[in-house]
Structure 1
Amino acid sequence: MADDTTQGLDRDFIEYVVKLIVENPDDVFVERTVDDLGVLLLLKVHKDDMGKIVGKQGQTAKALRVLLRIVGSKNNERVNLKIVEPEEA
């Protein structure tokens, strides 16, 4: 498990990258939870930005997950990313 200095670097990293991709960076929210399976990051973005985050055939989402796996392995953590569908108003 990572020490206190690396705690949350994965969350900060994915938030930074996603904010560079989307049109509505103020609507990016990342929630980090830790359990027996590792780290789970829940990503919420503006509904208009979902297509950019998922990408064609899920390529962008897959790339984000690969990058998180690399960041996690550097800190001896298993990091998973779940992209949350925005709720319709």
Structure 2
Amino acid sequence: MKELVLQITKALVDHPEDVRVSHIERNNQTLLEINVHPEDVGKVIGKQGRIIKAIRTVVKSCAVRDNRKISVELGNK
């Protein structure tokens, strides 16, 4: 799942070399935290948060298939 988020995010930004995705396990839930170059934060969020919501939707759809709980957060807001 981490690789999927990393690949999607790198395709969206101007500085793909600065994209980092952290994987944190907490209380039977997985948190994927995306960190990008400060200039790329707006591109990952998108207008009215549409891009980050779409990333979350894709990840949650894959997680349901695997019977897991995964959330996606943008680390550097």
Equivalent position of 2:18 in the other structure:
27
What is the alpha-carbon distance in structure 1 between the residues aligned to residue 12 and residue 56 of structure 2?
15
The two structures have a TM-score, normalised by structure 2, of 0.94
Q: For structure 1, which runs of at least 5 residues remain unmatched after alignment?
A: 1-9
Equivalent position of 2:55 in the other structure:
64
Larger Rg: 1
Percent identity among equivalent residues?
Answer: 27
The two structures have a TM-score, normalised by structure 1, of 0.82
Q: What secondary structure, in the 3-state scheme, does the structure 2 residue paired with 1:16 have?
A: helix
Q: For structure 2, which runs of at least 5 residues remain unmatched after alignment?
A: none
Instruction: Count residues in correspondence.
Output: 77
What is the alpha-carbon distance in structure 2 between the residues aligned to residue 75 and residue 27 of structure 1?
29
- The structure in which a higher percent of residues are helix is 2
Q: Could you give the per-residue CA deviations for residues 21-68 of structure 1, whole angstroms, max 9, x where no partner exists?
A: 111000000000112141100100000100100000000010010011
